[in-house]
Structure 1
Amino acid sequence: MWRKRVLVWLFICFSGFMLLLGRLVQVQLFAAENFSKHHINLLEASVQQRSQEMVLDHGRGNFHDRNGRPIAYEKKAVLILFPFLEKMEWDAERVAKIVDAPRTELIAAVAKSKQPFAFRSPEPLILTNHQMDRINSLKIPGVFAVEQKYPLEKVPAGQLIGITGENTAEIRQRYPGKDLSPQTLIGVSGLEASFDEFLLPEGKSKLVFHVDGDGGPLFGINVKYVDPANPFYPVNIKTTLDIELQKRAEELADQHGIIKGGLVLLDIETNSVLAMVSRPNISQQDPYNQNGITNMMLKEQIMGSVFKTVIAAAAIDYELDNPSRTFDCSRKINGEPDTTYEHGTLNFIDSFARSCNYTFGELAKELSDIDPNLIEEYAEKLSLTGPVGWQGSVYHFDDFKQMADEDIGRVFRKDQERTDKNFVALSGIGQHEVRATPLAVASMMAVIARGGQKEMVRAVSEIEYKNGTVMAEFAQAPLKGEEIAPYTAMKLQQLLREVVINENGTGRWFNDLPYEVAGKSGTAETGIFDHEQQLHNKWFAGYFPYHDPKYALVTVNLDVRSDQGGINPFFADMVKAVHDYNLKQ
């Protein structure tokens, strides 16, 4: 009987031993880098237990402006102190003298810290190159002067650049074949999301110091600077933004109280984004809130009278713009008396300058009679509908889109609307279902200024390797589809200039700017009410200088009352800002 008990006991012990051995084999050999449902890297965790580290750069790729200046971060030379200094004798007095800080502050900061840190007094202490050299020449374990990359609290062009975040499930879904840490930052929105695969880190740059069980330094082992071995990564995304113009545009948006809306500034020659502002801002407390993360400049908006530019283009080509023809601009589009805008009898040019709704409602109906698809065709010719952002083949991406969250815009939603006279007339003045993104409106102005040539809009010009060589280039490229004729573009240029120089034009406020401006205003009813008052989208879109076009500019203030939120001062101040910027160059 006792033999049977011994055998059973031995079997239980042997089984338990084999289970433990199997578990050990699993942990050591098969799950060392992906342990449990939490996907813990046991190798990294074991290293962390016997070392202290200071991350200098998480290794994700960077965004630069067109001149190579960083957009989302800044590098600072700082003093790094490790907490084990509290347990050893070190020359705090000498370090304090070099950095011009009280010795007691250094000692106190080390005493209360459990992790390596950049010394603050009380602001981050920024060192000179000479101070860095002197500190590092002391060769004190746990005391280092290094350059550290600091993400900006508020990133210029935040919605265009986008944000990042940690999401283990999304990492596995997006990159099933890549061995990435669960803590890897991935793009959530904007260019961060579009270029995410290029921006993924090869590894962190960090200072690592090995310590004993009590947290003290293991002498004889120097600090290690760990940096990804690949000399080509992380990459830099060279945007077309100009950081100075971008910052000035954001200042002006806030000065003019733009709560919802923004600005798009394009370089006409290269059809590239120089500045893009979207409001509301990204919330620092809740960055993933869609109200702030959404780029309003890429979302379709009701555009109002700016759309009359499309009707004018078609009217020119179909010879409906006879200078001797007049329109009763004291009437609404439905023919009833207009007691608000009693413009009287106007010809085609004056109708455009004063933005007469009756004229362009009538012209839209006449164009629809010629061909129900005509208005949409001209909207497409002027790049107003359809995506205008750069897209094409890059590496293994057959249809890569720089601005993947761009809306496409439209004129009509249903087929029967193309022949319904009331809907057509409303569409002719940019109401009803007419929608376009501010980016597309800026593109339309650039098309007209270039004489009709359509091009994709770029926000990024190149992807550069770490060593500065070009990994991929986003060359200027035409937009597919038909274009307006050079003659039509010339006539539109004259109409847009008339808006400013006509003594009754809706853009006469811009006649005294340092650059000659051509453009079109728009005030669209949104169908949204605030305390029984209709809210409006207020636009001004144009280009400058008129005789030598270089910039297309769109400003828009969304969902504001009719007696508030005027957009003209915002547009004017941005034109002045561009002029002042060019004077400094």
Structure 2
Amino acid sequence: MKRKRIRLLSIFLLLALFALAGRLMQLQLFQTESYSKHQINLLEESVSQRTQQLVIDEGRGEFLDRNGEPLTYAEKNVLVLFPFLKKMDWPAEKVADILHVPPQTILSKLAEAKGPIIFGGKEPLQLTESQMSDINGLEIQGVFALTKKFKSTQVPASQLIGVTGENTEVFHKRYPDKVKGANQKIGVSGLQESFDEWLVAEEEAKLIYHVDAIGGPLFGVDVKYLAPANPFYPLNVKTTIDARMQKALEEVADTYNIQKGGLLLLDIEKSEIVASVSRPSMKSRDPFSGGATNYMLKALIPGSVFKTVVAAAAMDEGMVDESRLFACDEGIRGAPAEKPHGNINIKTSLAVSCNRTFADLANELTEKDDHLLDEYAEKVGLLGDIAWKGNVFHYESFPQLQVSAGRIFTSETDREDPNLVSLTGIGQKEVRVTPLGMANMMATIARGGEKYQVSAVSAVEYQNGTKMFSFPKQEAKGETITPYTAMKLQQYLRGVVNSPEGTAPYLQTAAYTIAGKTGTAQTGNYRGEETKENELYNKWFAGYFPFENPKYSLVAVNMDVKINEGGIYPIFKDSVDAIYNLEND
């Protein structure tokens, strides 16, 4: 019996020993860089426990504007101090003399340090190149003058650029072959998400030194600089944004206190986004608390701006010319119009935004073919594949932007109801389009009917500025309106601004000559009681300029405002004037 117990105990101890050995092999040999379902890198974790380090560059790629200027970060020359200096006799007065500060200022900051610090804290003292050279020339171990990347607290075009976050599970699902950097940031919205595979970090650049259990130097005061070995990485994404114009339009949006809505500016020739402003603003510390939505890419109720599509379809289909008159003393259901205009033609109807004209034409178009309005919305670049999409390396149909699809009708039965078709013709009921689509439509008309996809990124670049991949200008698929129709629309849209009866005479005083269309869309929402006075509207103006030689198309939308507030014309005019001033600096 005793021998049997000894045998069982021996077997148990042997199994325990094997289990322990297996566990050690798992930790030391097989899963050192991807332990457990959380994919923990044990090597990195062990190093972090016995080191103190200062990250100089997270290693993730960045975003640049069209001129190569950084949008998401700033580089600053700073002084870095390591805490072991507290226990050493070092020439603090020499460093202080170079910085023109009292020695005690440096020593007092250092006394509070538990790890490596940047002198000056959140607002670091910026050093000149000469000061950096002089400090590093002292060769004091633990004292470094270097250039560090700082994340921008306010990123221009923040909703377009997007945000990053840490999610180990998503990281390893997205990149199963990457075993390092389990805590790396990944893109979760906007261009950060679309271009994440190119931007994801390979390795951080950091200063590091080893410490014992109480934080003292383990191997003396030897500080090491670790950085990626490949000088071409990380990659950067060069956007089409012009930082100066972006800032100018953001200032206009804030001057007029746009609470919801924004501005979108396109380069007509290049078919590129030059500025994208969406409000409410994104909060850097809590981006998804209400400011992460990019309304410039969201489908919204357009109101009368949609009449441009109806006019294009009716002219292209030969249903209307300038000799035909419409009874604009009447509304869409035959009742007296709120603003009577008598019997007027298509040109004047667009200038005064006559509802009856476009309700009648919408019904005639739908009777001929109940999908004509949808087709012409695509022909002018309002719907369809608006944003750049194409083959990029192993990606097929890689989309730069995630744009809401938009729509004209929600059901086939709606196309058969004359009342619903009438409301559709004036941009109400179920019509939903994006500001990006509106700007693209205006650019298409300004180009004489030529239709292109819109880019937000021009290239992915190596660190040295050479291009890894360029995004060429691409024609949009599908049919377009005829050059004659485009030419007529150009005249009609100009009449909205410069004809005596036009809806936007305010814009005649802008620095550039403008052509465009107004829209005031009922949203069905109210601020307070459901009364006429509390009804909320989306106010639009979409246009292009200079009229004689079109260079930019611009859309301004102020959402959920009362009829007597949130005027769109001053917003549009000040935006145009700001662009003029920048171009003529």
**Is the Cα contact below 8 Å between 1:101 and 1:121 reproduced in 2?**
no
**Per-residue CA shift, 1:333-386, capped at 9, x if unaligned?**
111112x32223322211110101011111111222222222222111001112
Q: Partner letter of residue 544 of structure 1?
A: F
SS in 2 for 1:208: strand
Q: What letter is aligned with 1:504?
A: E
Shift of 1:394: 0.2
- The answer (yes or no) to whether the contact 2:316–2:481 under 8 Å persists in 1 is no
Cα distance in 1 for residues equivalent to 2:461 and 2:121:
37
> 524-533 or 424-433: which moved more?
524-533
Corresponding residue number in structure 1 for 2:361: 363
Paired AA for residue 476 in structure 2: L
- Structure 1 counterpart of 2:317: 318
Match of 2:517 in 1: 520
Deviation at residue 221 of structure 1 after TM alignment: 6.6
Counterparts of 1:373 and 1:4 in 2: how far apart (Å)?
88
After superposition, residues 223-238 of structure 1 pair within 5 angstroms as: 223-238=223-238
**Mapping 1:405-420, distance limit 5 Å:** 405-420=402-417
- The Cα of 1:449 is off from its aligned counterpart by 0.3
Deviation at 1:542, TM superposition (A): 0.3
Tell me which residue corresponds to 1:95. 95
Contact kept? 1:249, 1:574, Cα under 8 Å: yes
The alpha-carbon deviation at position 220 of structure 1 amounts to: 6.6
Question: Match of 1:388?
Answer: 386
Aligned to 1:476: 473
Question: Which consecutive residues of structure 1, in runs of 5 or more, have no partner in the other structure?
Answer: none
The amino acid of 1:43's aligned partner reads L
Retained in 2: the 8 A contact 1:249–1:275?
Answer: yes
Q: How does 1:159-558 map to 2 (within 5 A)?
A: 159-217=159-217, 222-289=222-289, 291-338=290-337, 340-403=338-401, 405-531=402-528, 532=530, 533-558=534-559
Distance 1:247 1:72 in 2: 14
Give the conservation status (yes or no) of the 8 Å contact 2:85–2:142.
Answer: yes
SS in structure 1 at match of 2:555:
strand
Q: Using the alignment, how far apart are the partners of 1:336 and 1:122 within structure 2? A: 65
Look up the equivalent residue of 1:313 and give its one-letter code.
A
Tell me, in whole angstroms, the C-alpha distance in 2 between the residues paired with 1:221 and 1:32.
28
Q: Deviations over 1:395-436 (max 9, x none)?
A: 100010000x21121111111222321111111111111111
Shift of 1:267: 0.3
Aligned ranges 1:564-575 → 2 under 5 Å: 564-575=565-576
Give the stretch that moved more between structures: 94-103 or 508-517: 94-103
Q: Percent identity?
A: 52
Q: How far did residue 67 of structure 1 move?
A: 0.3
CA distance in 2, matches of 1:5, 1:515: 99
* Alignment partners' CA distance in 2, 1:337 and 1:278: 38
User: How many angstroms apart in 2 are the aligned matches of 1:434 and 1:5?
Assistant: 83
CA distance in 2, matches of 1:313, 1:11: 88
- Indicate if the aligned counterparts of 1:202 and 1:230 stay in contact, CA closer than 8 A: no
CA RMSD of aligned residues (A): 1.8
Structure 2: 5+ residue runs without aligned partners? none
Deviates more, 1:2-11 or 1:35-44: 2-11
In the aligned structure 2, how far is the partner of 1:400 from the partner of 1:268? 23
1:105 aligned counterpart, secondary structure = helix
Q: 1:333 to 1:97 in 2, by over 3 A?
A: same
| Greater CA drift, 279-288 or 357-366 | 279-288
Asked if structure 1 preserves the Cα contact closer than 8 Å seen for 2:545 and 2:553, the reply is: yes
Instruction: Report what 1:134 is aligned to.
Output: 134
- Distance in structure 2 (CA, Å) of the matches to 1:35 and 1:476: 46
Pairwise CA distance, 1:7: 5.9
Gap change, CA 1:13 and 1:108, over 3 Å in 2: farther
Give how far 1:277 is off.
0.4
Tell me the alpha carbon deviations over residues 141-182 of structure 1, each in whole angstroms, 9 at most, x when there is no partner. Answer: 111011111111111100000000001111122222322422
Asked if the contact 1:361–1:428 (Cα under 8 Å) also holds between the matched residues in 2, the reply is yes
CA-to-partner distance for each residue in 1:65-112, whole Å, 9 max, x for gaps? 000000011000111111111122211111111112222222122221
After superposing the two structures, state which structure 1 stretch, 95-104 or 154-163, moved more.
95-104
Per the TM alignment, residue 561 of structure 1 is displaced from its structure 2 partner at its CA by 0.9
C-alpha deviation, 1:49, in angstroms? 3.1
On the 8 A contact 2:300/2:433 being kept in 1, the answer is: yes
Shift in CA distance, 415/11, structure 1 to aligned 2, threshold 3 Å: closer
Q: What is the CA deviation profile of residues 16-70 of structure 1, one whole-angstrom value per residue up to 9, with x for unaligned ones?
A: 4444333222221122223345433221222223322110111011100000000
Summarize deviations over 1:273-295 as a string: whole Å, max 9, x none: 00000111112342133x31111
The answer to whether the Cα contact below 8 Å between 2:72 and 2:155 also exists between their aligned partners in 1 is yes
Counterpart of 1:68, as a letter, is G
In 1, Cα distance between equivalents of 2:220 and 2:121: 31
Q: Report if aligned partners of 2:440, 2:454 keep a CA contact under 8 Å in 1.
A: yes
Could you say what secondary structure the match of 1:288 adopts?
Answer: helix
Q: 1:478-508 CA distances to partner (integer Å, 9 max, x unpaired)?
A: 0000011111100000000001111221111
TM-score (norm 1): 0.96
- Whole-Å separation in 2 of the counterparts to 1:321 and 1:18: 89
> Are the structure 2 counterparts of residues 4 and 430 from structure 1 closer, same or farther at C-alpha, using a change threshold of 3 Å?
closer
Answer whether contact 2:385 2:476 (CA < 8 A) is retained.
no
CA distance in 2, matches of 1:8, 1:365: 91
In structure 1, give the amino acid aligned to 2:463. K
SS of residue matched to 1:106: helix
In 1, are the aligned partners of 2:33 and 2:179 still within 8 Å (CA)? no
Counterparts of 1:523 and 1:426 in 2: how far apart (Å)? Answer: 13
Report the TM-score when normalising by structure 2. 0.96
Number of residue pairs matched by the alignment? 581
Q: Given that residues 557 and 567 in structure 1 are in contact (C-alpha distance below 8 angstroms), is that contact kept between their aligned partners in structure 2?
A: yes
1:105 is aligned to: 105
Greater Cα offset, 341-350 or 474-483? 341-350
Letter in 1 for 2:329: S
Q: Deviations over 1:112-137 (max 9, x none)?
A: 12121211178311111111111111
Secondary structure of the corresponding residue to residue 114 of structure 2: coil
Q: Which secondary structure does the structure 2 equivalent of 1:293 belong to?
A: coil
Residue aligning to 2:564: 563
